Amino acid sequence: MVASDYRWKDGFPKIGIRPTIDGRRKGVRESLEDQTMNLAKAVSSLLSEHLRYPNGEPVECVIADTCIGGVAEAAAAAKKFKNNEVGLTITVTPCWCYGTETMDTDPSLPKAVWGFNGTGRPGAVYLAAVLSAHAQKGLPAFGIYGEDVQDEGDSVIPDDVQEKLLRFTRSGLAAAYIRGKSYLSMGSVSMGIAGSIVNDAFFQEYLGMRNEYVDMSEFTRRLEEGIYDPEEFEAALSWVKDHCKEGADNNPEKLQSSRERKDLEWETVVKMTLITRDLMIGNPRLAELGFVEESQGHHAVASGFQGQRQWTDHAPNGDFLETMLNSSFDWNGKRAPYIVATENDSLNGVNMLFGQLLTNTAQIFADVRTYWSPASVERVTGYKLEGHAEGGLLHLINSGSAALDGTGEQEIDGKPALKPFWDITDEEVTNTLQSTEFRPANVEYFRGGGFSTDYLTRGGMPMTMHRLNLVKGLGPVLQIAEGYSVDLPDHVHQTLDQRTDPTWPTTWFVPKLTGQGAFSSVYEVMNNWGANHGVISYGHIGADLITLASILRIPVNMHNVPAEQVFRPRAWGMFGTEQAESADFRACQNFGPLYK
């Protein structure tokens, strides 16, 4: 079993589909059996056709053995779902059913109900009744109700219903997949960054995750004792020499390392990459080499590398390992990204995990470094910003884990994009590597050396910047900014880039403005951002993030997602409909963390 497959040895959560029905026999139930079960099968086909697990396989649905007309059949379905590792449920019905007798009462499973909008039977009446029961019992459920009336017996799923089914399922699967997994903290707090103070209560109560910890000395031990696969190391080092271009050394000549030293650093950072992956997920090859305990790994779905400063003052930095593991390919070929947060910023790591699970694509980790106003750009470069950037732009740049995919050298319909690994072509991998340089690290920052990734993200991509913050007395809060990557004339980019660190990857990002609140200007987006880091995902995924956050009971304090795309449990409306942002905070506080 190769390492990329080893991650999936425990499988994935499945989707439980619950066809509920009017329990009255002698005519009523019998007339509805086929239609109800066909709705369940149609939902199953829709989800399996459009959604995939992180390994590229279609998602799996488990349909209850019978329609659910009462509590006995509800219990039988719950037992089947438990035995089949179902992680979320969708209840479907075209008719009236007995609400509290047929509902899903598992408090830890995300749940949605689709009540068919047809006049022949009152599926919408059941929907309203059972959602009321969910709210009354403190078991929030998403209500799905098509806008247009359908004919009785129609098995077509309307577009608006499809959108909500897919949004709920993407988000529900993400929540279900991380439950029981670990966040691995490699090292401790980096340079006083609060996000790297790993809050185990947050991970346990809101995400259902464990926390695992290793000291940075574990890297020294594994490097010195050879606790890695030597055959894979040789293959990896050969691939790196052939495909990873070493860029110019930006250090003053007197501080530049010798060629011999740089070659040693290359060997070390490749070994660090193998060690990090093995720490996260384990590696059966280590057991064959006599390292049985180490072969188990830490069951980590995400991790963070402290690095600065204790490690990087002495040894090569983690930029290469973070970049390679977060990318969609390496010396073993194309595969799903691993999630490794720079500076052990666990909160940014969680957002990277959210983004990766919602899109099946790699994520860009970056500092939200600088707001460049139109006046500042014109003063420094003589260039007047235009297009998306006419109101200013954000310089997103960090030495660490910006995945190589972030170059934008992958394409969809001829436009730059980030794609799931199974859609990436060999040519796109080559183009990505050719657009990237690995620059000797700035030794004033990184005394131990190493190699930082240097590339420029192509403009024109829809992107979403997002970030979790922890607030004393409130808990976790999510912020979201949809927008676009933008191109600048080369001389403008070079002039602005040189003012920071030209050895690091740059993404020029412009959020969409709404004219209100934090999105009244690009400056206000920067001014309201809650931390020094952010995650940048391909696509406008803000609506999916909002749905996922509501499942986990995490409020959203700023976003620019159109109101018609926001999809939360029906009970959220009970906390107010005029000011949805405030209602979100009250609902999350009222229901509390999902796993508390």
Active site residues: 343, 367
Q: According to the annotation, is 154 in a ligand binding site?
A: no
What's the CA gap between 110 and 351, in Å, rounded?
A: 19
What's the CA gap between 32 and 574, in Å, rounded?
A: 32
- Can you list the alpha helix ranges (DSSP code H) found in 361-515? 374-381, 426-434, 490-498
What's the CA gap between 86 and 20, in Å, rounded?
A: 17
Q: According to the annotation, is 493 in a ligand binding site?
A: no
5: Cα within 13 Å, side-chain hemisphere: 4
Q: According to the annotation, is 343 in a ligand binding site?
A: yes
Beta carbons of 403 and 323 less than 8 angstroms apart:
yes
| Other CB atoms within 10 Å distance of the CB of residue 378 | 14
Rounded to the nearest 10 degrees, the angle between the axes of helix 159-178 and helix 346-359 is 140
Write out the two tokens for 203: 């991970």
What's the CA gap between 227 and 231, in Å, rounded?
A: 12
What's the CA gap between 208 and 264, in Å, rounded?
A: 41
Which residue type occupies 390? E
Classify burial at 275, counting beta carbons within 10 Å of its beta carbon; exposed 0-12, middle 13-18, buried 19 or more: buried
DSSP E strands in 66-110: the ranges are 86-93
What's the CA gap between 210 and 129, in Å, rounded?
A: 37
Write out the two tokens for 244: 């990873």
Of 212, 300, 208, 299, the C-alpha closest to 554 is 208
Write out the two tokens for 419: 């794609």
Residues annotated in a binding site for Mn(2+): 343, 367, 533
Binding residues: 343, 367, 533
